[in-house]
Amino acid sequence: MEKAALEQEVRQIADSWKGKDGNLIMVLHQIQNRYGYVPRNVSLVLSEILNVPLARIYEVITFYHFFRLTPPGKHTVSVCMGTACYLKGGPELLGELEHLLCVKPGESTKDGQFYLEVVRCLGCCGLAPVVKIGDKVYGGVKKKDISGIIAHYSKEAEAKAAA
């Protein structure tokens, strides 16, 4: 996107928060909602619009686990490692996913289809162990279920669904 168009888009996002104290985190949330991560050129534009140094923006982005500096894969696979899920087999699920997708947490697959991450408690501990793909929560997951769940979101499956 060219700078002018980008600037307009970012301005639109930032405008509703302009002038409010402590707005930076809220604006970053909206930016990540829009782009899936916080691209550097957006931060540059934002720094101008909000009149805060770029360093301040990066200081905040890097402190909070929630914000990402690189684009995530198409589907975010979140493995819960909260206490309940940890005790009930979260680590095995993570191992299986690492093995199947050939990535470590915080990485995307080569085809850009999946982004694997570890999260702390999704607030549905009663269903432990929990894996979330996109917005869909899978509860009581067993190691042997993983490949089936993942297959559902693969490129091939999507191509089939589209056809």
Partner 1 sequence: MAKTVFIKDTAITGKDRTRDFYGLFLGVLREKGLDTTIQLVRLADMGIYSAGIAVRVLPDNHLYTQVGESDIAGIVESIKTGQPYQPRLTKQASTQMRIVLRNCGVIDPEKIEDYIAHDGYHALARCLTELTPEQVIQEMKTSGLRGRGGAGFPTGMKWEFTRKSAGDQRYIICNGDEGDPGAYMDRSVLEGDPHSVIEGMAIGGYAIGASKGFFYIRAEYPLAIERIEKAIKQCHDNGLLGSNILGSQFSFDVEIRLGAGAFVCGEETALLASIEGKRGYPSPRPPFPSVKGLWGKPTCINNVETLANIPVILFKGGEWFSKIGTETSKGTKVFAVTGKVKRSGLVEVPMGTTIEDIVYGISGGAMSGKSVKAIQTGGPSGGVIPKDYFQTRVDYESLQKMGSIMGSGGMIVMDEDDCMIDIAKFYLGFCVDESCGKCAPCRIGGTQMLRLLEKISEGRGVPKDLEQLAMISRAMQKASLCGLGQTAPNPVLSTLNYYRAEYDAHVNDKKCPACKCSKLLSFLIRQDKCVKCGMCFKACPVGAISGNREKGYVIDQEKCIRCGQCFEVCKPAAVLRQ
Question: What SS3 class is residue 118?
Answer: strand
Q: Say which entry of partner 1, ligand FES, none residue 130 contacts (CB below 5 to 8 A, set by partner kind).
A: ligand FES
Q: Which is nearer to partner 1, 21 or 156 (CB)?
A: 21
Closest approach of Cβ 105 to partner 1, in Å?
12
Q: List residues near ligand FES by CB under 6 A.
A: 80, 82-85, 121-125, 128, 130
Across the beta sheet with 75-80, the strand order is 107-108, 114-119, 75-80, 131-133, 136-138
Which residue is nearest to ligand FES, using beta carbons?
A: 82
15/159 Cα distance (integer angstroms): 39
Q: Which is nearer to partner 1, 104 or 120 (CB)?
A: 120
Binding track over 9-48 against partner 1, x by CB under 8 A: ------------xxxxxx-xx-------------------
**Token representation of residue 50:** 């909000």
